[in-house]
A and B are shown apart, each in its own frame.
Chain A
């Protein structure tokens, strides 16, 4: 059993006095999709933002516990390096409006001033856009600004942008909640395809989405990890009563 890509141990996070995450421990397996679900405000977005160290940008934010990425302590390294190893896709698609599609994909390299040969960059752009199932649609308009794309296409562009950095893990924070149903199903298909080669941690408040796409599921409620396990098992024979109530729609 190989070691997990991401290991969270006894992790707590707070905004000042307000404890948002209480003693979370879980593992994210390589090349599998792990979903985190739970009602709004339960702390799943906070957990994800702690992984790529965005949480600490808020004043008064504190954390404790351990997060290991490939056995390296995420909190012992320079946060900028940490963020480069982790890809993130946000709720609302946010391509950079002043850059064209090509530059958006390699934005991580461009903005960081990482110099590469044009040929290498071209390869990265094509590779990432293919993986994000967007290449066919934009290959002729790579040098146009991305704002004319539809919501779903913009989100896939953001996924390509994250993939281009070749991260150890990709965090998707409710990536379809701002999209229409058709675009949503495209993204879900994409995720199912991607997880063969990319480790994905998906945050969603859509139970059905978690069931459809994930291999492992974590149920978070009021900042606590209530239950975590293989999706099949959690959805059919949940161990915790709260999980069962959530799945049957009693709250959330």
Chain B
């Protein structure tokens, strides 16, 4: 009896382990599938023309995604210019004021901001920028993306700077260096790797965002360099072309997906490399 009971328990143990391993590794399958299909379908379309041409109307060959690439660059440019300084400053404030009512409130707000669905951010940018300007624009899209980047940048700046030992600040202050120079020239450089990593990861996060751009940047079949006019972007292009009934456009969408996926993955890898190489040891 005892033997049987014991063998049954061992059997359950092995079955469980097998199930866990099976389920765990199957979770990675979708990744392989997605990457495989993007690569297979995308690589067929990508060539120099693809990257430098404008989208052509249906029926014409040789369409490209150049306006989407440039548009994505413009949107990321606007959002970085807005979010990076603001985020780093807020992060410095939080790391310097660990206690305090404002700090507590700010941390709470940053957490909440991080959880807001991206489509809601799009609504906000629409009301704040698109409505007053009476036009869709790269600026409104950039602002929406900036709002999404902020929590990541603030958090990573705060966490990185909190790790820097107090003794470094004191060494600088003891030399008679004023507080603001101590922060800018000693503390911030020491924490640079973490801050930059946070920035890169936030860029990776928003580079692929579509929802906030649907009614802000809106998309544009032509090349547009004017920040105050609608602009195309890679995710928008994928969305619009995927939903269209034209196979040529589907092909373009696969190509654009590949470019986007490679860009986002490259940023993630880059962030990891920076953390490893630039990290300051104490």
Direct contact of A and B (CB under 8 A): yes
One of A82-90, A122-130, A187-195, A218-226 contacting the partner: A82-90
B89 to chain A, nearest CB (A): 20
Question: Do A108 and B177 form a contact, CB below 8 Å, given A92-B167, A94-B168?
Answer: yes
Contact of A54 among B168, B170, B181, B185 (CB under 8 A): B170
Chain A 94-116 interface residues, beta-carbon cutoff 8 Å to B:
94-98, 107-108, 111-113
B2 at the interface (CB under 8 A from A): no
A237: Cβ under 8 A from any B Cβ: no
Given A92-B167, A111-B185, CB of A57 within 8 Å of CB of B280: no
Contact with B along A165-191 (1 / 0, CB 8 A): 100000000000000000000000000
A156 at the binding interface (Cβ < 8 Å): no
Q: List 9 A-B contacts (CB under 8 A).
A: A81-B176, A86-B174, A90-B170, A94-B167, A97-B168, A97-B190, A111-B175, A111-B182, A161-B171
CA distance A95 to B170 in the complex (A): 11
Question: Which chain A residue lies CB-closest to B191?
Answer: A98
Contact indicator per residue, chain A 234-245, by CB within 8 Å of chain B (1) or not (0): 000000000000
Q: Which of B166-193 contact A (CB under 8 A)?
A: 167-168, 170-178, 181-182, 185-186, 189-190, 192
Assess whether B282 is interfacial by the CB under 8 Å rule.
yes
B173/A54 in contact, CB under 8 A: yes
- The reply to whether A83 and B173 contact each other, CB–CB distance below 8 Å, is yes
Q: Is the CB of B167 within 8 A of A165?
A: no
**Which residue of A is nearest B189, CB measured?**
A98
The reply to whether A84 and B176 form a contact with Cβ atoms under 8 Å apart is yes
Say how far A41's CB is from chain B's closest CB, in angstroms: 19
Report the minimum CB–CB distance from A171 to chain B (whole Å).
Answer: 8
Cβ of A202 within 8 Å of any chain B Cβ, yes or no, is: no
Is A208 interfacial (CB 8 A cutoff)?
Answer: no
Complex CA distance for A165 and B172, rounded to whole angstroms: 12
Q: Residue B175 contacts which of A92, A98, A107, A113 (CB distance < 8 angstroms)?
A: A107
CA A112 – CA B185 in complex, angstroms?
Answer: 10
Q: Is the CB of A112 within 8 A of B168?
A: no
Expressed in whole angstroms, the Cα–Cα distance for A95 and B281 within the complex equals: 11
Q: Give the number of A-B contacts (CB < 8 Å).
A: 71
Contacting residues, chain B, for A97 (C-beta < 8 A): 168, 190, 280-282
Question: Using Cβ atoms and an 8 Å threshold, which residues of chain A touch B175?
Answer: 83-84, 107-108, 111-112, 161-162, 165
Output the least CB separation between A201 and chain B (Å).
14
Report Cα–Cα, A81/B255, bound state, in Å.
62
- Identify the closest chain A residue to B166 (Cβ): A94
B171 touches A111 (CB 8 A): no
- Interface pair A83/B168, CB less than 8 Å apart: no
Residue numbers in B under 8 Å from A84 (CB-CB): 175-176
Is A206's beta carbon under 8 Å from chain B?
no
Q: Is B117 an interface residue (CB 8 A)?
A: no
A111 to B177 Cα, complex, angstroms: 6
Residues of B within 8 A of A113 (CB): 181
**Given B173, B186, B281, which contacts A96 in the complex, CB threshold below 8 Å?**
B186
Q: Mark A70-92, 1 if CB is under 8 A from B, else 0.
A: 00000000001111111110101
Residue B165, interface by CB 8 Å:
yes
Is A94 touching B170 in the complex (CB atoms < 8 A)?
yes
A226 to chain B, nearest CB (A): 27
Instruction: Answer whether A54 and B174 are a contact pair too, CB < 8 Å, given A94-B167, A98-B280, A147-B281.
Output: yes
A34 within 8 A of partner (CB): no
Alpha-carbon distance A74/B173, docked complex (angstroms): 16
Docked complex Cα distance between A83 and B173 (Å): 8
